[in-house]
Amino acid sequence: MAIILRLDRVMADRKISLNELSERVGVSNVNLSKLKTGKVSAIRFSTLDAICRTLDCQPGDIMEYSPVEDN
């Protein structure tokens, strides 16, 4: 996948647990866990907005584009 998720790093920097983020954002632990581990194919803008607001970060802090090279 060309999008790398860095939610785990931002959470560690902010010293916030998955349970606490889940409560603050209003998204289930399961869905946040999938996002944290990169096992998602989409994210709602409303969820991204709530995560960024809660963690005081920008979308680019939790997502990174890495081009995939064709061989």
Query: All domains of the chain, ordered by start, with CATH?
Result: 3-65 (1.10.260.40)
The model's pTM is 0.86
pLDDT of residue 69: 65
User: What residues of the chain score a pLDDT lower than 70?
Assistant: 1, 69-71
Q: How far is CA 52 from CA 10, 24, 27, 68, in A?
A: 10, 11, 13, 26
pLDDT of residue 2: 85
Token couple for 71: 């061989």
pLDDT of residue 68: 76
pLDDT of residue 70: 60
Please list, in sequence order, all residues whose beta carbon lies within 8 angstroms of the beta carbon of residue 63, skipping any fewer than 6 positions away.
3, 4, 5, 6
Percent of the chain with pLDDT over 70: 94
pLDDT of residue 71: 56
